[in-house]
Structure 1
């Protein structure tokens, strides 16, 4: 005997999709999930790109069942209304159970990395910005080139003999046409003085730091002045 109900026994939700003013939606007093600001920004970017594809679930009194983060993201975008689906076939107790299930069951899934890798590759070939998916650039790199992946033999550089006399030493500055190359510590202010003299830096091209804690002032500056290509 099956542990599930038959299709005929399932209670249908006959409600249709509609739009409701965001100000009329009631956020649950108990928040089952904590949403970081970075996640809300990603959801807002997704909403801005795709629109409301997944509706907010609400009960007959406009109490939110699922979709709190999407509501916060919609507010960030200045949206007035949200796409909702009203759930009318569940009791208050069943709604409380569903709220937990909705958050928990998705955690059981795992990424199918080979297929995800192919999908990323296809989308990149189409010159699409795949960071809109919520994956950050270092995470995308980890999918495309997993740790332990064999490297191109052409990338292998033979180590220099430790007895070999170095040509360049710390503090040296090479003049290469209109360019300069300084050998120094990027954390040392004197290195920049040696390289730039009285000139001012107008742009920096670099890989962003990952998995490193940064001072709050750096994070705030990065949010307004760094362009990720």
Structure 2
């Protein structure tokens, strides 16, 4: 079979020479562009942009956005001079749609990602988010709807929680509030006129602890993989300043 076109060269064009196509139906969010940029920084520029002779982009709009994010001045391009306007419009759609038709062999994918994890490779460069990676790395043979060994069978939380932010509970002589420990109003409500003798905290701070590593490494099988809100906050001096007791 003789192809209607096969590129014989790749050119380097200034980024400002490229014009996005106004009718491009494929959207690129900031998160996706950031992932393309991170991939490009790690692996290099592996996909030339498809352009018309006048600089209008035919394919790879996301890569050009990533180039701008990286501060690149030039990008590699291939001219598709043989396409007329209708063919360019059709190819834009086909180029995006055809890549969506493939499916993953999840068993092979799991083995590949597990191998990269064992080599301490940065899995964020693969394009999957943490939730997807957790699901992929979980061996389906270990899946169990019940509690894992050593864990309590904790029911799912109700759709409408009993306690909401601002609620203050009186538990005998103790008081418990659902709120922000850096808020003067919240701390004042829970303490009232009482001067506490002890402030219990849980260092280290700012680590964004992710308990799902236990499943990834096979150390244990746990369903307790949820994260703590604001666990990545390193500076808690606002909360300490509201402690009226002895340090």
Q: TM-score band (shorter)?
A: 0.5 to 0.7
Could you list the runs of 5+ residues in structure 1 that have no partner in the other structure?
A: 1-6, 161-169, 172-183
Partner residue of 1:207? 210
Count, aligned residues: 188
**Deviation at residue 11 of structure 1 after TM alignment:** 0.8
Distance 2:8 2:34 in 1: 30
Are the aligned partners of 1:15 and 1:87 in contact in 2 as well (CA < 8 Å)?
no
Task: State yes or no: 1:72 paired with 2:65.
Answer: yes
Shift of 1:134: 0.9
TM-score by length of 2: 0.63
Q: 1:195–1:141: structure 2 CA closer, same or farther, 3 Å change rule? A: farther
Q: Secondary structure at the match of 2:107?
A: helix
Instruction: Give per-residue Cα distances to partners, 1:127-155, cap 9 Å, x unaligned.
Output: 2112111112221110010567346x994
Q: Partners of 1:141 and 1:135 in 2: how far apart? A: 10
Structure with higher helix content? 1
Instruction: Please tell me whether residue 119 in structure 1 is matched to residue 121 in structure 2.
Output: no
Q: In the alignment, does 2:47 pair up with 1:54?
A: yes
One of 38, 56, 66 as aligned partner of 1:63: 56
Residues 14 and 111 (structure 1), Cα distance of their counterparts in 2 relative to 1, 3 Å cut: closer
> Structure 1 pair 14/46, CA: closer, same or farther in 2 (3 Å)?
closer
Contact 1:22 1:71 in 2 (8 A): yes
Give the secondary-structure state (helix, strand or coil) at the position aligned to 1:124.
helix
Contact persistence 1:55–1:85 (CA under 8 A): yes
The 8 Å contact of residues 13 and 88 in structure 1, kept in 2 or not, is answered as no
Residue 194 of structure 1: CA displacement? 7.0
Match of 1:43 in 2: 36
Q: Does 1:134 align with 2:127?
A: yes
Deviations 1:154-205 (A, max 9, x none): 9412659xxxxxxxxx98xxxxxxxxxxxx77756369x9797398966144
Per-residue Cα deviation, 1:47-83 (whole angstroms, up to 9, x for no partner): 1111110110001111100011110111011000011
**What root-mean-square deviation, in Å, do the aligned CA atoms of Structure 1 and Structure 2 show?**
3.9
Is residue 107 of structure 1 aligned with residue 100 of structure 2? yes
**What is the TM-score when the length of structure 1 is the normalising length?**
0.68
